[in-house]
Amino acid sequence: DAKTTQPPSMDCAEGRAANLPCNHSTISGNEYVYWYRQIHSQGPQYIIHGLKNNETNEMASLIITEDRKSSTLILPHATLRDTAVYYCIVRGNTPLVFGKGTRLSVIA
């Protein structure tokens, strides 16, 4: 599976959009981009995934660049409950391989 690069930490003001970047320059054509998050003392929670097109669900939006070498997860109106570690994972026909993720702190 392609490796991903994420900033170790980010801050976001409550009510503002949180934009979490991810680089995956070695992604191959059949690999999906997945985002999970992990709130303290809980298991990872699925957020969203995509292959080529941008995706949106009730939790977030996923923007994938045209060359698929990077993506951005957007939480449109961050709340304190969005404070968590966010993992960007590129996955083909294999289990999820987690890196260290981005620790997002939402500040009141």
Binding-site member from 30, 40, 66, 81 for another protein (CB under 8 A)? 30
Site membership for another protein, residue 32 (CB under 8 A)? yes
Could you tell me whether strands 102-107 and 9-13 are parallel, antiparallel, or unpaired per DSSP bridges? parallel
User: Are the C-beta atoms of 75 and 82 separated by less than 8 Å?
Assistant: yes
Q: Considering the complex, state which of residue 34 and residue 78 has its C-beta at the smaller distance from another protein.
A: 34
CA 58 – CA 41 distance, rounded (Å):
23
- 101 closest CA partner among 7, 31, 21, 14: 7
Q: Hey, how many other C-beta atoms are within 10 angstroms of the C-beta on 66?
A: 6
| 80 DSSP 8-state letter | G
Site membership for another protein, residue 87 (CB under 8 A)? yes
**The one segment of 14-22, 58-66, 69-77, 85-93 that binds another protein by CB under 8 A:** 85-93
Least distance (Å) between residue 37 CB and another protein = 11
Q: Considering the complex, state which of residue 17 and residue 57 has its C-beta at the smaller distance from another protein.
A: 57
**Residues of the shown chain interacting with another protein in the complex, contacts defined by CB under 8 A:** 30-32, 42-46, 49, 51, 87, 91-101
